[in-house]
Structures are given as structure tokens and as C-alpha cells.
Amino acid sequence: DAVIFSMIQPTGDFHLGNYLGANRVWKQLQDHKVPQQTCLFGVADLHAITVPKLDVVKFKQLRLQAIASILALGISPEKCTIFMQSKIPEHSQLNWLLETITSMGYLNRMTQWKSKSEGVDEDQVKLGLFAYPVLQAADILLYGSTHVPVGEDQTQHLELTRNIARRFNKMYKGRYLVEPQTIFTPTKKVLSLNNPTKKMSKSDADPLSRIYLTDAPESIQKKIKKCLTDSISDNFYYDPENRPGVSNLINIVSGIQGKSVEEVEKDIAHMKDYNTLKTYVSDIIIEDLTPVRIRYEQLIKDPAYLMDVATKGSLEKARPIAQGTIKRLMETMGF
Ligand code: AQP
């Protein structure tokens, strides 16, 4: 049976990177239901507290916003399990069991860890940030996940997850944990609008670097207008190395329209100036995101409903599976 599993951190409003790299595929997978398929989509709020500074009031609101965004994208609580990580203590429990078999050397090679800890004083950088990928492995392995749709930035963490599963199975001589497959979308990586050498990310200090799913049309127009491109004239074509800004816009359009990069290049071949290209790109984004924004604005007005969806999904649907896994693993380990 297929178990499709993915999560997102409530560290800010969802952006085009999350959408094209992951969330839109969640919806597509939900809709292309094959028999015996389970979909679990969660809010990784335990992961989110690894940020350097946490404002508790804002954090509560961000958790609600994450649920509202998931629902606004068309993910259905009837068809899928929508859950909140912190409501299921078994995530933390499995995290500990797996930490005891994960090597420090492997974690030290994680590029996300390296980039986030770089330049930070050793007394300041926290153990939770270092062990972040183990909790992620626990999230995935807890549900016997077979397929994990994520953006390219998660490649290494998924490899680690498979490695941990393999190690556990070898140690205890059985097939206790399922090694999940990574599913990439055609748009594996959306880049920051004003620094197209970096990925678009919620934690980037500059809001002009990303387009939120909830951005008003004027805001989308403004951000695309200001995005960093180049001064190569003539025409527009895909060349990620020499023209990362333009290539990022082509990628975004290709992701939204489900067209190949070559097809998008043909569509824009007649354009001669940035104003025309940027208006074209903005219009495509606005058209696609407007229904999501309208649904989101309705949903966010009803926090009680949002918490109810997350609580029911967590306690009635996700937790029984998680409890079953922990029970089996604890017995296997001799507890
Ligand atoms: N730029 C991106 N392009 C493609 N996919 C992306 N994802 C994130 N950014 C891009 C995918 O979105 C899912 C949720 O990941 P996340 O919650 O870690 O998103 P984030 O925007 O990266 O959030 P943060 O808080 O800014 O996290 P860090 O600091 O880790 O970058 C994942 O499937 C991810 O691949």
C-alpha cells in the first residue's frame, strides 16, 4: 500500500517555492487517488522551534496559518490526514529511539546544518538544529511512509532517513521500518527573487525575496517587477548558470503551467523587454494563486475550525498509526 507523507514548517506564510516544490503535488497526489493509498500531510511545529528567536504569540498564529494554507490549497481533511506534529508525542519518542543509532559524522555532513550553523558560536548553536534531520526521519518512518514529495533541498535528509531505516532493520534483523522514496516535482527548486543563487525560503529576512500564496495581485506585480535579472539584451532564454534570475522566472511559469522549459521559452521568444516579460509572469502567477488566496482569507477567520481539523486529524487518524509503530519498535528493542 502507498503511504504518501509530507510536512511543512509553520515558520511563515507559504511561498511559491513551497507551492511548486511540494504543496501543489500534495493536492495532485490526493486527487489521483489509487486504491490503498493513504495521504498524510502535517505541520512540523516541533521543527519550527529550532529558529533562533521564537515569538510565542506569532508562533501560535503561524501554526493556524499553516493549517489554513493547506486547506486553501484544496487538501481535504476527508481524503487526507491533516495533522499537527506536536499533538502526537510519538514523533518525539521515535526521534529519541533513532538518535541512539544515528552517527554524529553523518549529521555533520548535512548541508542544511552546515549552512545554518556556519559562523555561529559553538555555545550558541543548538543541539536541536543539529538533530533536526533525525526528527524528520522519525516523522516519516512513524507512518511507514513509502513516498515523500518534497523540494530538492530535502534530498539529503531523505537519504539519511533511508539510511536510518536500513540501519535499524539490520540491527534488529527484520523489516521494521520502510525505506521511503523521494518524489520530486518538475520544479524541484524555486530561487529567491532578489538573490537567485539561494532557494526561496520562509526564513529569508527579506520578504521581497519570495511570493506568498496569500499575496495580493499588486504585491505580486511589485515583487516580480523588482526581482533581480540581468542586462543581457536581445531575448529571454533558459540559462541557469549565466541568467539565474530569468531562468527562475521561466521555471516558475513552467511549474505553474505544467509546460516544459522549452515550451515556455517558445511562448516568450517574441518578448524584447523586461517589462513585457515581468507583466506576463506576474499575470500567470496571479491567475493561479487568486483562488487560493480567496479561500485562505475565508479560512483564517475561523481559528476554531482550523484547530478542530488539526486536532481530529492528529488524534483520531494519525496518532493510532504512530502508537502502533512505537509499540512494535519498543518491543523489538527489548522494552
Ligand atoms: N525554494 C524552494 N523550492 C522548492 N521547494 C521548496 N521547499 C521549500 N523551499 C523550496 C519545499 O517546501 C516544503 C516545506 O519546507 P519548509 O517548511 O522547510 O520550507 P522553507 O520555506 O524552506 O522554510 P524555512 O523556515 O525557510 O526553512 P529552512 O530554514 O529550512 O529553509 C519542503 O518539501 C521543501 O523541500
Residue, of 33 and 71, whose pLDDT is higher = 71
**pTM value?**
0.96
Q: Mean pLDDT for the chain?
A: 96
Contact 140 CB / ligand 1 (< 6 Å):
no
User: What is the predicted ipTM?
Assistant: 0.96
Contact 9 CB / ligand 1 (< 6 Å):
yes
Strands (E), the chain: 2-8, 37-43, 81-84, 147-149, 181-183
The tally of CA atoms less than 13 A away on the side-chain side of residue 271 is 18
Q: What pLDDT does residue 163 have?
A: 98
Q: What pLDDT does residue 36 have?
A: 83
110 has pLDDT over 90: yes
Contact 196 CB / ligand 1 (< 6 Å):
no
Best substitution site from 202, 212, 249, 254 to test ligand 1's pocket, by max atoms within 8 Å of Cβ?
A: 202
Of all atoms in ligand 1, which is nearest to the CA of residue 14?
21
pLDDT in tens, 147-162: 999 999 999 999 999 9
Angstrom distance (rounded) from CA 274 to CA 206: 22
pLDDT in tens, 162-210: 999 999 999 999 999 999 999 998 899 999 999 999 999 998 999 999 9
The catalytic site residues sit at 116, 199, 202
Mean per-residue pLDDT, 133-145: 98
Which amino acid makes up residue 291? Answer: P
Between the CA of 106 and the centroid of ligand 1 the distance, in Å, is: 21
Angstrom distance (rounded) from CA 217 to CA 234: 28
Nearest residue to 68 via CA among 317, 297, 308: 297
- Identify the residue whose C-alpha is closest to ligand 1 atom 22: 201
Q: What pLDDT does residue 52 have?
A: 82
Mean per-residue pLDDT, 275-302: 98
Nearest residue to 227 via CA among 263, 252, 196, 256: 196
Percent of the chain predicted with pLDDT > 70? 100
Q: How confident is the model at residue 234 (pLDDT cuts 50, 70, 90)?
A: confident
143 has pLDDT over 90: yes
Contact 190 CB / ligand 1 (< 6 Å):
yes
32 has pLDDT over 90: no
- Identify the residue whose C-alpha is closest to ligand 1 atom 31: 201
Domains, the chain? 2-189+304-332 (3.40.50.620), 214-298 (1.10.240.10)
